[in-house]
Amino acid sequence: MDASDHKRVASRRLVPSLLALALALGVYLPACSAEDKKGGQKAGTQKEDAGQALARVNGKVITEGEVHAEAADQFAQLDREYQQRKHEIVEAQLKKMVQDRLVEAEAAARKVSKDAVLAEVKPAAVTDADAEAFYEKNKAQLPPRPKDTLIPQIKQYLQQTGQQAAREEYFKTLEAKYKVDYLMEPMRVEVAAAGFPARGPAGAPVTIVEFSDFQCPFCSRITPTLDQVVSKYGNKVRLVFRQFPLPMHPNAAKAAEAALCANEQGKFWEMHDAMFKDQAGLAVDGLKSKAAAISGLNAASFNSCLDSGKETPAVQTDMQAGTKAGVNGTPAMFVNGRFISGVVSPDDLSKVIDDELKRKGQS
């Protein structure tokens, strides 16, 4: 995953709190990436002429329509990226316009200038102790540079995020005061959730579809977060697991099959937990050992399933569905269709869930 990947992921619906600092310091985002996709112009900048001849081979014409048909998946991906970016621009501009009108309303009510209103939004000063505490808490994710060279950048980051947070809190009070209703729907992607390993009731108002790789270290990191939100929201959330083993992880595909073989016996989540707890032991022998240690699982049936490769088509189906939905790295989640890429905190994930519940009248 290179810098262009990071910038694209950063524009998604939800961004980890360390992202701004991570980009500034050259730190990788918390996700395993399947590939590096560059570019992203919208398909069809010229009007398509399906009958237009683009080449002739041995007297037989290849038309533009035939090329588009053969590359349909790639054009669909370009269109998704275009729609996503368009939505983000509209959303950002809408937020700016709402905030401008709120400041105008407050300034008019108090008979002061807009600048005077905004000047009152002041975050707490950032101290050296704040920067030191941030460094100690997050040093595993920071680049391996001397601490004294990182502290000034951390202070600048904390000052910027503090100012942003103060403004956001202030605008929340203005939104409540002047009764703002956001009517714009979030960008959503349709992803099938029925018939796959899941926790929570099928009728839950919020469904999280997770695409994951058992050998991806970031996928193991998101697991406690998902456990927390499932526990926190109870029957309001359903968690669905789908397979997305990445080519860079040699044992991931077989581990995905192992999870589905265990699922045949109603032991998916037990196998899921065992594999994430020991990602170094995902070779076939290790998978069989883990299965044998699960109470109530028939090891002989599991081994037969795993050796036969019978779950390979199901894994491939999941991967095709993920790719079609725009997944190119793990972990990737869709919260009622809202795409979230990479490792996020329980608080950040809860914000999206709370928003979905609010939209359904179940805050």
Q: Is the pTM of this model over 0.85?
A: no
Residues in the chain, total: 363
230 is written with which tokens? 């499932």
Question: Residue 205, preceding bond cis, omega within 30 degrees?
Answer: no
- Greater confidence (220 vs 73) lies with 220
CA atoms of 173 and 41, how far apart (whole Å): 39
How far is C-alpha 338 from the geometric centre of its chain's CA atoms?
Answer: 9
> Which secondary-structure segment (H or E) carries 350?
helix 346-359
- Using the Cα atoms of residue 272, residue 278, residue 282 and residue 283 in order, give the sign of their dihedral: negative
Cα(343)–Cα(30) distance, rounded to whole angstroms?
5
Q: At what angle do helices 217-233 and 346-359 cross, to 10 degrees?
A: 50
Percent of the chain whose predicted confidence (pLDDT) is above 70: 88
Asked if pLDDT for residue 38 goes beyond 50, the answer is no
The rounded distance, in Å, linking the Cα atoms of 350 and 136 is: 25
pLDDT (tens digit per residue) in 168-219: 999 999 999 999 988 899 999 999 999 999 999 999 999 999 999 999 999 9
| pLDDT tops 80 at residue 307 | yes
State how far the Cα of 149 lies from the Cα of 83, in Å rounded to an integer: 40
Please give the single-letter amino acid code of residue 340.
I
Question: Which of 349, 318, 320, 312 minimizes the C-alpha distance to 333?
Answer: 349
- pLDDT-derived band at 362 (thresholds 50, 70, 90) equals confident
Torsion from C-alpha of 143, 146, 151, 156, nearest 10 degrees: -50
User: Exposed, middle or buried by CB within 10 Å (0-12, 13-18, 19+), for 189?
Assistant: middle
Question: Do β-strands 206-212 and 237-243 pair in parallel, antiparallel, or remain unpaired?
Answer: parallel
Structure tokens given for 29: 């985002």
CATH number of the 198-359 domain: 3.40.30.10
Report the DSSP pairing between strands 32-33 and 53-57: unpaired
Number of C-alpha atoms within 13 angstroms, CB side, residue 284? 8
Q: How confident is the model at residue 256 (pLDDT cuts 50, 70, 90)?
A: very high
Banded model confidence at residue 49, pLDDT cuts 50, 70, 90 = confident
Q: Convert 161-184 into a string of H (helix), E (strand) and C (coil).
A: HHHHHHHHHHHHHHHHHCCCCCCC
Q: Where in the chain is the domain with CATH 3.40.30.10?
A: 198-359
